Chains A and B, each alone.
Chain A
Amino acid sequence: MSNRDTLASEPSKTAGALARHWANEEIVALRPGPGRLQSAWRALSKNKLTLAGCIIALIYILLGLFGPVLAPHDYARQDLMATFLKPGSPGHLLGTDNYGRDILSRLVVAIRVSLSIGFGITAISMIVGTLAGAIAGYYRGWADTIISGIIELTWGFPLILIAVILTGAFGPGLKAIVLAVGLINWAGFARIVRAEVISLREREFVQAAHAIGVSDGRILARHILPNCLAPALVMASNYVALAIIVEAGLSFLGMGAQPPLPSLGTMIAEGKNYMLLDHWVSTIPGVTIVIIVLALNLLGDGLRDILDPRLRRA
């Protein structure tokens, strides 16, 4: 991430490459202010796949927020006289499952569970990780030693393994998953923010702010952290997808959301025994999770291209 200056000073770069490099910098407009948002939006509207990912994610968020309120049925109400109704049956838009529960009503609640875990924990770990990374990178010293140690410990550590071990401690339920994701993911944010801050604190504009007596807190908040936003946002969209997959996977194994609370994972697991005749019980939640994960991945890739032109290649 620190190659911005080396790129400019590298003699082997042609004038054309340099011009393009500066032009890119102009587009991104790394300075804080409305210009950056505007240009990001302009770039987003040009990049169709990213826009699609963004819109799909928004639709899911709306479904998760308002779906359970507007749901036609109680998600837990069983009706053994009306099991395995096909999608499109009167009163049951997406059909019913093996207990005659309305799949649409269950689906929107499951989306709410997924997204609360995905977005909720990612938001918290992004805030904690950014603060930790900023402190470690800006002040260095013993704080950096401790934070870097934790980062190194958790980096590359499988989330699912920790979630399963914590399930052993807390018993099955969402608590273990929330804790596992929270314990691991903040370090990912801390890792990239720390690296950015270390390279940024030597830059001229930070030195200049320091020289005219701007306080450390203000330098971090106004000059350094806004420049760390891009990689953190890209990471966030991937982490949301990861958290959703882990929650669904553990719920699929019966270690996550406990009945009657529906989760995309439990819905797939319950429907998998009826795949041959009544596949929709499983395929509807299955497709639901594939779409949101794909959308978040597209969003992440697109954000990286838009926000960080240094990584945009070919």
Chain B
Amino acid sequence: MRIRVPKDWEIRESAVTPESVYRLRNRREFLKTLGAGAAGALLLRSRSLAAMTGFPAAVNPDYSGDGLKVTPYKLVTSYNNFYEFGTDKGDPSENANHGWNPEPWTVEIAGLANNPGKWDVEDLVKKMGGIEQRVYRHRCVEAWSMVIPWDGFALAKLVDLADPKPGAKFLKMTSFDKVTGSQDGGFGGPYVEGLRLDEARNELAFIATGIYGKPIPNQNGAPLRLVTPWKYGFKGIKSIVRMEFTTKEPINTWQHLAADEYGFYANVNPTVDHPRWSQASEQVIGGGVFNSRQKTLMFNGYEKQVAALYQGLDLRKNY
């Protein structure tokens, strides 16, 4: 067996600057993105050294995003839907960094689980065996998309840790009620989302604690958020405080607000339109003015990994 010793000059693939960022208009733009990322993240919120452990994370070769064009960091961290911090796309990056420090943070595991409890996020990550990087497509229900390198761990590992009881069929997740600078967001309460237990155990379901090899910024859902790349982005609940195993299908926030427009499953499906706009295509964020529209793929291109979950389910009724 050939044992490969990396040369002194070799760096981890996750440390490589995405080509799209590197090819920004000029050197000044490029440096700005670095500033916004590393130095900016440190300036905006002091992070204990413990949180930095694990970064940058090794790329999981199964989800290396081969052939995908990664969205520039600057756009991923300034074009957000996080209504608790304002409803304009630029609001969360401004308002979520005014004194809110999501540290320390506790996640409660509750409900029909054999191993419930309260976990400090740092300890939880250690218990999960550290983090890895996965490059996933991200598709918003508003018909725009990004490609994001998430750092975190598989949700399936957390489900195994919690050891759900036989009656548990769903995983209900809740976000914070109020933190510094946040408002109601028009939700009337904390953001709620949920998955079927088998969806939560799917290989793709991911809990992200970082992006681009750095701790996840507040506006992206610090300190940990759900990533389900085959579903619309609103399924990706941010800043999770509680995970509860239930027997009943939870009513997620957007379904509660407008059940005729948003459902529980939220699977990306170009053949099932939103009542007010088509889902057949999507705008690539940062794609510029011309040729930045692309066809939306069934299950956001993850049909191979998740189609089996929905055999026999009428996706037109269960949107």
Real complex partners, A and B? no
A interface, CB within 8 angstroms of B: none
